Amino acid sequence: MSLLNTIVVKSLPLVPKSIVGQVSKRYIAGESLDDAVRTVRALNTNGFLATVDLLGEDIKEASEAIQTKTAVLRMLGAITEERLTSNVSIKPTQLGLRIDRELCYENIKALVSYAKSKENFVRIDMEDSTTTDDTLAIYYRLREEGFKNVGVVLQAYMKRTETDCRELLRVGANIRLCKGIYNEPPAVAFKDREEIRKNFMKSLRILLEGGAYVGIATHDDVLVNHAYGLVKDLKLQPAQYEFQMLLGVTENLRASVVQNNHRLRVYVPFGEQWYPYSTRRLKENPHMAGYIFKAMFTSS
């Protein structure tokens, strides 16, 4: 990271919100569902799949969880009405996990049930390590009730992930595998970049060899190339896995994945809670700080 980027990233709380908004346009579809629909339609036209995510997490009131559920139901309806090739991603804390696990379960079950009626799919995101056990418990319960149109996420930086991979294989899970973004303690998470890469590669092999459908979620070209080799060695067909990337990140790599005849799903976030999401993305991708610096001197 250059000195300039370091300074800008550390100064993000002082940067005008309008400037962050200008730069974050590449990371988020906008504030409204209509914005998300337009973005997904454009992605579909260019050969990409999508998953739509309503921004916001860790709500404090049950009423907010119900509002989120209603909003996601509208998202699923819009995907069907607009004939988009997209599913949805949801965060358990956004649906009441920290308030009451049963409330969260009922909300997610309602979404998965409605998605099933629309022949669609719901991805349950994984958040910080304090939610992992509850999130997996909800997922296993849904599978026990017969829902197959639901998937979960595993994070390669978590030391428990290999065990979770093997357990999830027993239920034929659909899994998104990513590195992980939360600041976890060394007791539960690998901190070294190469250790995380190694665990990602190991976990991916376990899942693919075990027959799981995996969303290979990474912007790391080393891991993308490793996945290319793995799917070739295992003689997998494109319908047996997919790559996944965030909107606005490593777009050249994203395009090359599709050009190499692999399926790729783009994560499309939208909503009024765009600011905390955008600042997190910028901190994770410090090279974007240069765009903030430029925007500060070119905005009217």
Angle at 92 between CA 56 and CA 216, to 5 degrees: 90
Q: In 37-114, which ranges are E strands?
A: 49-54, 86-90
Dihedral sign (CA 83, 88, 94, 97)? positive
Residue 279 carries which side chain, given as an amino acid letter? Answer: T
Distance CA 88, CA 64 (A): 19
Out of 101, 123, 143, 176, the active site residue is 176
The encoded tokens of residue 250 equal: 């490593």
- Please report, for residues 108, 157, 280, the alpha-carbon distance to residue 185 in angstroms, rounded to integers and kept in the order given: 29, 11, 19
- Please report, for residues 127, 166, 192, the alpha-carbon distance to residue 209 in angstroms, rounded to integers and kept in the order given: 26, 11, 26
Closest CA to 243 of 259, 227, 229, 230: 227
Residue 231 carries which side chain, given as an amino acid letter? Answer: V
Out of 98, 101, 125, 143, the active site residue is 125
**Position of tokens 């979404």?**
111
Question: Known catalytic residue: 176?
Answer: yes
Residue 1 DSSP label: -
Catalytic residue IDs: 125, 176
